[in-house]
């Protein structure tokens, strides 16, 4: 029987790269996205590329608690256990705290923090000893920068959530890792005046490090995974 991974926000960017990485390791996957068309493309591509892995998809807006719980129930009907949970769903809305649109903080917290908080709570009964939870934080989780606004607040919060979870689950032998990447190529980088390609990290490099952290033996855990562009932050 294949191991199982649940990945939120898996159809683009880092989430998609992580999904490919675990499928290559022979995992069955359950993934969600807000967009059915993206999920259909995902399912067709993975059925072709990884015929020995099963893939389940479901439309879900994880900023909504009721949809988080619906997705969790969907997962539990497919998988008796969840070996790896990757809380990757997130959104970046640039701005400054004093001038950003009202409601920005709420939307960032709902998507970047509450999604992970509630999905973890729902799925933790299915995560066995030696299971692994990855939470998508950011270098914005430990440093502020102009234009970070409420996004930075939400990413400080997800790192705090991850650290508390690590303490609560260590005696159950469930690993918890915070992923803190710097600038990475994704759909957030669009339009004119983009930096040179080599200035940002490819999402596949983040996925490589996630797999490396997962592959450690049962007595070791990577608590904080910080990955930055070679030439430094933008």
DSSP letters for 14-41: HHHHHHHHHHHTT-EEEEEES-HHHHHH
Give per-residue pLDDT as tens, 51-90.
999 999 999 999 999 999 999 999 999 999 999 999 999 9
Provide the whole-model pTM.
Answer: 0.95
- The domains of the chain, with CATH numbers, are 4-227 (3.40.50.720)
pLDDT of residue 198: 83
- CA-to-CA distance for 7 and 175, rounded, in angstroms? 16
Element containing residue 177 per DSSP (H, E)? strand 175-181
Q: Which tokens in the block code for residue 82?
A: 């969840």
Contact yes or no for 80/127 (Cβ under 8 A): no
pLDDT of residue 189: 66
pLDDT of residue 199: 86
pLDDT of residue 81: 97
Contact yes or no for 1/8 (Cβ under 8 A): no
Question: Which residues of the chain are modeled with pLDDT < 70?
Answer: 188-192
Contact yes or no for 15/9 (Cβ under 8 A): yes
pLDDT of residue 169: 98
Q: Which tokens in the block code for residue 118?
A: 């509630």
pLDDT of residue 191: 65
pLDDT of residue 194: 79
pLDDT of residue 192: 63
Give every strand in the sheet of 84-87, ordered side by side.
55-59, 28-33, 4-8, 84-87, 132-136, 175-181, 224-227
Question: Which residue, 86, 72, 80, is CA-closest to 133?
Answer: 86
Question: Which residue, 135, 162, 165, 138, is CA-closest to 150?
Answer: 138
End-to-end CA gap in the chain: 44
Question: Do the bridges between strand 55-59 and strand 84-87 make them parallel or antiparallel, or are there none, so unpaired?
Answer: unpaired
- CA-to-CA distance for 146 and 152, rounded, in angstroms? 10
pLDDT of residue 155: 97
Residue 5, classified by CB atoms within 10 Å of its CB into exposed (0-12), middle (13-18) or buried (19+), is buried
Interior/surface letters 82-113, b for 16+ CB within 10 angstroms, e for the rest: bbbbbbbbbbbbebeeeebeeebbeebbbbbb
């Amino acid at each position: 029987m294949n191991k199982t991974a649940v990945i939120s926000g898996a159809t683009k960017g880092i989430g998609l790269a992580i999904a490919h990485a675990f499928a290559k390791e022979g995992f069955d996957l359950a993934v969600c996205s807000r967009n059915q068309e993206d999920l259909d493309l995902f399912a067709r591509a993975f059925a072709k590329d990884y015929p020995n892995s099963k893939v389940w998809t479901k439309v879900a807006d994880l900023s909504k608690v009721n949809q988080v719980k619906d997705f969790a129930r969907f997962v539990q009907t497919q998988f008796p256990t969840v070996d790896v949970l990757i809380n990757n769903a997130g959104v970046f809305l640039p701005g400054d705290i004093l001038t950003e649109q009202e409601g920005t903080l709420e939307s960032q917290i709902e998507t970047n923090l509450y999604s992970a908080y509630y999905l973890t709570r729902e799925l933790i009964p299915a995560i066995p000893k030696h299971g692994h939870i990855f939470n998508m934080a950011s270098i914005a989780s430990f440093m502020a920068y102009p234009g970070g606004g409420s996004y930075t607040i939400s990413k400080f919060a997800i790192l705090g959530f991850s650290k508390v979870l690590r303490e609560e689950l260590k005696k159950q032998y469930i690993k918890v890792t915070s992923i803190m990447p710097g600038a990475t190529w994704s759909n957030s980088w669009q339009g004119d005046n983009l930096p040179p390609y080599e200035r940002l990290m490819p999402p596949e490099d983040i996925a490589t490090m996630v797999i490396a952290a997962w592959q450690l033996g049962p007595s070791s855990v990577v608590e904080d995974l910080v990955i930055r562009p070679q030439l430094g932050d933008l």
